[in-house]
Structure 1
């Protein structure tokens, strides 16, 4: 090197001046990515996911696009898959975000999981390497799809034949056998036939109402209702896995799908509405046609391919719990099909509660409204009929100030009888509202409980909120709980009262009875009297 070289340059090249450079960090962070299913590491996240796709049939990119997952959804998916793998569970078919939407999956399952920080670095193009489909497999898939379509068409055709046949039979019944000289037949059962026909018309309208989408959309969007069933099934898979399940009133089949997802051996989904045809398609499109069998008909009339089932699951609850009378059919099926020793009812328990209704806007809306209609007095419109209707409404927590609502019906679905559904039971409530608040009537709602064993007893008068705190699956339809599509039943009293004092005990009786001639409707009777009062009030409302 030239001795005239710049000293500063020479100094930089001296080895002794290299001290400290080895401590400078690289701009590229060294990350490794652990398989979601086993203890195998990769230097590239795309390579790792490709391995899990080929080895474990987990196609991350396909799921991301099919379910339209945002970043947080993808984080929850990764943590969910790792959690299932760590628990030794076979990864269920991921067909809905409901499987991993719980907030617990926002917390990393694996500490310092490099996958979670690199989800936006995945080369999705690397996964677009489809191979030519096997001709035989493609033909088999086409045949399966065609078979599913034929099955749906056949079910519809069979239904039309049954309806036509029934009409023919009814027409023959309506034509009395002729007698000499047109003498009336003393054994003519016309009255009975008219009653039966009216009941059939009522049933037809009831089942027809469940054929349309809106009612099912409302129920599915009721996350309190649907999540309770889902969580109970997914958190207690041992109660379902390998078992035969009967789903009564299956609707779209959501409860059946939950059971199939949890490993049920066979699910019999029964519904007497035309929605069953859509349920068949839903079952097929989600790949559970080998597990879920959809049957159309009343549970009392349909033929099941098994003698006994291990679990009966049903969302049978109506307004005020018993409106629609579907529980009658569920109890009939329990006695006919459920294993009497080990069979489980889901849900297992239900309770009805009542509390005073105070300072309610309902009286303003339904009664005071007539006092001034565009400046005119229309109080003549007010008659007893205004107070005879049980109103299904969303009540505010302030409408029901009593912290001591009374439980007046407690049903164990494993032992309850249909005779238990017609009753007149006592209740007792302490008046906790202030004296300035008016008594406007009564509010009624129900709580639902999911216990794990037919021998497990629900503590008397337990509320759903207490059950949840103790680790049970339960939900309430009361005004203080998150609202459900059932809302609450409001019973407006004919006379507004200000007579109760704070701390006064109000005692009474409340009863349910099917409305004569309309078995799916309910007459609700309440009798009540405050301590120290001489007279008892009584009123009947119809939930129609």
Structure 2
């Protein structure tokens, strides 16, 4: 989900109707009614009335009677529902309902059961006055009380229908805002780490970044083609989309026949994602959950498939893979499928003195309208310490790339994501100057949960040519440019401008390390190299912040 400062230019457009050819057979979704889950069991009912009546008969719990006794308005009834569900979830089969004070806390505006159909159906329940004593009142106090109740009920009935629709679309966001404003919910001032993490999620709240990713047809087509091309894998399955963004991957899965899709994201984009899901009539399948996957409570214990677009610059910038691994370890059923299933990190040398000269040209800052601004050169993108992100043509790469890390998504661990790995590269042509290093990644979508890549590795751009099952794409110079581009690490001047011959082997190591900046999502890359039998060697560290 890493983003670029500018949109990716592309030879095709998502708006081009020709891009949809071959998908006409995708079945339109039928609207479904969400079942109502019992307070005290996993039993489901076609409507709220039948569920409430069952609880009264089997568990001696009169929900509507308790509403009347406690004089609950619509907001209080929402809290009451979530209080009961939270108590039962904690193992209490007989929640105390003797006082409103038991559930006054704003936390009970947060749903215990995601997509709780009862919350959307409170206006369908019998009126509290249906339980009133049928005897005729004999004094003015009784008459006044009934008049007040009837007036309150009329006001409530006039607002509930409209509010019920509002709840269905935006209730969770309303709860977040209300809770954030309550004295009890005020959080202590964030640490610098938390501020960086918060800034990361806020960056995904804006349209431009999502437009850039959606217009990246290499990326988006790969997910679409794999999901639509393997509808049998998704049919009637439960899917978890980690970092759902606009919900595009979730909607692919729903259209492919998934029974339920849970889309999770911690940025404000979820507000738009819900609107998009409703607009496309997929709300009966897709549930959008706001929060970090490590902190939210999902409405299911296990899922059959996890789909996520978690990749960042140089693959691991943003550290989102940690969250995907957490989701895998906590929610993926045995034998479940990871989409994508594998990634490989590749390293290659850069030899292009003209490219370096252009990127290192700081003469502009020496005289700006007669003023010396050379201090600005320290913050230039290509300054020996920053990882640049840009497209590089194949002719600037004088050797076959080497895989220095293989990431099987079914088994990789967070500990595996900070490492030092060896590499060895043989030059395919002589060069006048070794100018830097390039890092890119290949991504693979294998349809078999136990599938493996060929031993020794394979280029993503060669995957289809080899007749392999599934989909693959590269972010390197062997494919079309993507919004990830290629990570570029230029050498210091004293290490450049050294000629090497065809067949020369350069060996060394690549290290990845997380940095605390940007909420722990920044990346440090260190490379040590030595051209055997020559004086060409060095060691350098770059950062992507």
Q: Fold match, TM over 0.5?
A: yes
Give the aligned partner of residue 530 of structure 2: 529
Q: Of 441, 447, 452, which residue of structure 2 is paired with 1:452?
A: 447
Q: Distance in 2 between matches of 1:389 and 1:271?
A: 29
Does residue 201 (structure 1) correspond to residue 195 (structure 2)? The answer is yes
CA contact (8 A) 1:353 1:445 kept: yes
The one of 252, 268, 272 equivalent to 1:274 is 268
Q: Which residue of 1 aligns with 2:394?
A: 397
Per-residue CA deviation, residues 273-318 of structure 1 (Å, 9 max, x unaligned), is 1110111111111111110000000000011011100000000001
Give secondary structure in 1 for the equivalent of 2:191: helix
Partner residue of 1:364 out of 333, 351, 357: 357
Partner of 1:352: 345
CA distance in 1, matches of 2:505, 2:484: 29
SS of 1:344 mapped into structure 2: strand
Q: Is the 8 A contact 1:370 1:382 kept in 2?
A: no
State the shift of 1:149 in Å. Answer: 3.4
* Cα offset, 1:69, TM superposition: 9.3
* Partner deviation per Cα, 1:85-139 (whole Å, 9 max, x = no partner): xxxxx74459xxxxxxxxxxxxxxxxxxxxxxxxxxxxxxxxxxxxxxxxxxxxx
- Give the secondary structure class of the aligned counterpart of 1:483: coil
Q: CA deviation at 1:157?
A: 1.3
Name the residue aligned to 1:283.
277
The DSSP-based 3-state class of the residue aligned with 1:279 is helix
Task: State whether residues 358 and 399 of structure 1, in contact with CA within 8 Å, keep that contact through their aligned partners in structure 2.
Answer: yes
Corresponding position of 1:61: none
1:151 alignment partner in structure 2 = 168
Q: Deviations over 1:132-189 (max 9, x none)?
A: xxxxxxxx9xx99975533333222111134335995534xx7xxxxxxxxxxxxxxx
Given that residues 424 and 509 in structure 1 are in contact (C-alpha distance below 8 angstroms), is that contact kept between their aligned partners in structure 2? yes
> TM-score with structure 1 length normalisation?
0.67
Alpha carbons 1:148, 1:284 under 8 Å: kept: no
Alignment deviations for residues 499-538 of structure 1 (CA, whole Å, 9 cap, x no partner): 3211100001001101144410011000000011357410
After superposition, residues 15-414 of structure 1 pair within 5 angstroms as: 81=24, 84=25, 91-92=27-28, 147-164=164-181, 168-171=185-188, 197-340=191-334, 342-370=335-363, 373=366, 386-402=383-399, 404-414=400-410
Once residues 428 and 265 of structure 2 are traced to their aligned partners in structure 1, the CA distance between those partners, rounded to angstroms, is: 45
1:487 to 485, 501, 505: 485
Q: Which runs of 4+ in 1 moved over 4 A?
A: 67-70, 143-148, 165-169, 371-385
Q: 1:504 & 1:368 partners in 2: Cα distance?
A: 30
Helix, strand or coil at the partner of 1:226:
helix
Q: Deviations over 1:401-458 (max 9, x none)?
A: 32x100001000000000110011001111223333x211001100000001221111
CA change 1:303–1:381 in 2 (3 A) is: closer
Q: CA deviation at 1:468?
A: 2.2
Once the two structures are superposed, residues 303-351 of structure 1 have per-residue CA deviations (whole angstroms, 9 ceiling, x without a partner) of 10111000000000011100100000000110000012x2110000001
What TM-score do you get using the length of structure 2 for normalisation? 0.67
Contact kept in structure 1, 2:180 and 2:186, CA below 8 Å: no
Structure 2: any 5+ residue segments left out of the alignment? 1-13, 31-123, 125-159
2:498 paired with 1:498 = yes
CA spacing shift, 1:278–1:528, aligned 2, 3 Å: same
Query: 2:438 aligned with 1:443, yes or no?
Result: yes
CA distance in 2, matches of 1:532, 1:147: 76
User: SS state of the match for residue 288, structure 1?
Assistant: coil
- Is the Cα–Cα contact under 8 Å of residues 387 and 488 in structure 2 kept in the other structure? yes
1:417 corresponds, among 413, 419, 436, to 413
Aligned residues: 394
Coordinate RMSD, CA, aligned: 3.0
- What does the per-residue CA deviation read over 1:172-220, in whole Å, with 9 as the maximum and x for residues that have no partner? xx7xxxxxxxxxxxxxxxxxxxxx6112111111111101111000100
Question: Partners in 1 of 2:416 and 2:23 — Cα distance?
Answer: 44
Does the 8 Å CA contact 1:216/1:251 hold for their aligned counterparts? yes
Structure label with greater radius of gyration = 1
Helix, strand or coil: the match of 2:526? strand
- Alignment partner of 2:492: what SS? strand
Q: Which runs of 5+ in 1 are unaligned?
A: 1-66, 85-89, 95-139, 175-195
